[in-house]
Amino acid sequence: MNVRGVGKPGKAARPRGRTQFNLRGRLGLVAGALGLCSLALVGRAVDLQIIDNDFYRQQGDARFLREIPIPTSRGMITDRNGEPLAVSSPVESIWGNPQELLKAPDRLPELARALGVPTEQLTRKLGQRSDKEFVYLKRRINPDEARAILAHDIPGVASQREFRRFYPQGEALAHVLGFTNIDDRGQEGVELAFDDWLRGTPGAKKVIRDRRGRIVENVDLVRAAQPGRDLTLSIDRRIQYLTYRELKRALLETGASSASAVVLDIATGEVLAMANLPSYNPNAVDGSRRDAHRNRAVTDVVEPGSTMKPVTIAAGLAAGVVTPDTLIDTRPGWMPNGRYRTTDTHNYGVLTVTGVITKSSNVGAAKVAHRLSDRQFYDFVRRFGYGRAPHSGFPGESSGVLPPPSRWSGTSKQTMAYGYGLSATPLQIAQVYAAFANDGRMIAPTFVKGQPNPPTQVLDPRIAHEVMRMMQTVTEPGGTATQAAILGYHVAGKTGTARMASGGGYARRYVSLFAGVVPVEHPRFSMAVVVSDPDPGRRGYYGGSVSGPVFHNVMQGALRLMDVPPDDIETWLAAQARAQGVGSAGAGIAAAGAPAATGAAAGAVHEPAQRVPAATGVRP
């Protein structure tokens, strides 16, 4: 009997509707898929890293590759003998990454203590620049101080090299040199005038930095740094110091408010010294004393007073209307000046033209000017540089004021003859006296040693010599500036005392001036000294007693420093003989070193100061 559904013995029955499971096939399929994926990944990696990697390289570089500047030192400034006047010293500046620092606010108090600033201030500074990656935290500090800050190992804090300017002469040369700002750019004086020459060109390099800002690798030099070029000035630091010291002494002894002085080399026009008071420390400049930053010798003008009289006399000599021996009647010591008077301190009677200079007679100078036409007088004064910039190259130099004849009143020429109604800087006055000493040749002043300056003939040499001889009498017994005399040397000069303008008139405050040349036989130095608003109760206010001693002390030192031979041996020998006659070595030294006191004892004559032009509205 057959039973349905019973198969052959030993064989299992296969379920209907199912396929047999193929493990080997499936493994092959998975392996193939993985292989294809791997091949695709390798291909993509090759594409990204080798074939088309510019985008991702740029993205990576943007996070770690930086182009940083290579700082370069500013050129050194030296005096004419190679002594350093301005040098750049390496310093460090601490900077930070605000984005990195703000991630660790718990480290900010520690950083603030290291920087020496309040935590609130540092937090506010970083918060205001939270979208930046660079901010200065402390600039131009000592490298040791920078290392102490970095030793805290605060993420996002690093340092970079910079340079800071130092001025060894300090206040004595501040107005000539000027100073630089925190970015080492010239702001005043020579530093500003020659900024392009001194500054140099910073370099640049590409580096890789880690997240803390530290340089991991130097990648490439973009451009090499070019250091600034050195500059040799015409200044002699020894004469500069003498000038500054004597000006400071004059302010202390006279109670003046300010003072300026300029020393020129007559043959070259080089500025050997230029000092002003009050001064400032260029190593620690602040904004509290901006007025003290001004170089008054170049930017500020004064009415030249009686220092103008040699120019007036030279104009008369050049026009042939007078000679050194022409007699001028100054009686009775005054003359009309419109509604006012031109007066002398004394009635000098009849003077020669030389005597007008010796006694500093306003009346005499005015009468010489009256012999000239307005155009003759104006053109001659203009030829000497008044009313024109001296072209020294110094920033902000003033041209002074010399109004043309079309703007003159009926008394303008008369007051200009003795130094009112026009104005000039101390540098311009020193330049005029250098022209007298240089055979009538005027040279533009310069602050750079060896800079060629072709002279301009402004006066006949013969007339220049005559004026020099006249000015020599000013420092001799009977003149107005015996305190400017220097034993063993002939000194030619002229005092000046001008009242200070105030509110459309003239106040009873004074400017004391002295301008001179030494030695007369072979002139080397021209110097102008201007002292403003001295206290009349101390040493008076006349140029001979206030500014004359400054000239004496500075020039006496300069002559010795420069080994200038004396041109008045007879006077020196006579002083030695008198000293030996006293029989005391100490007295001999005193006599040999104090000719100014001897002159003062002989009785100095003062130039008049109360010469007020009609236009001022102030009665004499």
Peptide bond into 324 cis (omega under 30): no
Amino acid code (one letter) for 52: D
Place of tokens 């296969």: 14
**Which 8-state DSSP code applies to residue 604?**
P
Q: How far apart are CA 370 and CA 373, in angstroms?
A: 7
Helical axes 374-383 vs 309-319, angle rounded to 10°:
120
Q: Which of 157, 231, 150 is nearest to 189 (CA)?
A: 231
| Strand partners for 343 | 334
Through-space distance between the first and last CA atoms of the chain, rounded to whole angstroms: 168
Q: Are 71 and 92 in contact (CB under 8 A)?
A: no
Cβ 519 vs Cβ 564: under 8 Å: yes
Are 73 and 226 within 8 A, CB to CB? no
At 260, list the tokens.
């300026």
* Per-residue 3-state assignment (H helix, E strand, C coil) for 549-565: HHHHHHHHHHHHHCCCC
Active-site residue (options: 88, 306, 412, 512):
306
Q: Are strands 231-232 and 77-78 parallel, antiparallel or unpaired?
A: parallel
In Å, the largest CA–CA distance within the chain is 182
Partners of 258 in beta bridges: 532
The answer for residues whose C-beta is within 8 angstroms of residue 579's C-beta and 6 or more apart is 587, 588, 589, 590, 591, 592
Q: In whole angstroms, what is the distance from residue 79 CA to residue 232 CA? A: 6
DSSP code, position 306: G
H helical segments located in 284-361: 296-299, 309-319, 353-359
H/E stretch holding 508 = strand 505-518
For 47-58, the DSSP string reads IIIIIS-HHHHH
Q: Is the dihedral of CA 544, 548, 549, 552 positive or negative?
A: negative
Distance (Å, whole) CA 494 – CA 313: 12
DSSP character at residue 270: B
Tell how strand 215-223 and strand 157-166 pair up: unpaired
Q: Residue 306 catalytic?
A: yes
Q: Classify residue 212 by burial, with Cβ atoms within 10 Å: 0-12, 13-18, 19+.
A: middle
Q: Which residues contact 573 (CB under 8 A, 6 or more apart)?
A: none
Q: Nearest CA to 70 among 220, 213, 231? A: 220
Alpha carbon of 354 to those of 351, 441, 462, 466, 468: distances in Å? 8, 22, 15, 9, 10
Residue pointed to by tokens 């005043």 = 188
Cβ within 8 Å of residue 63, ≥6 positions away: none
> What is the set of active-site residues?
306
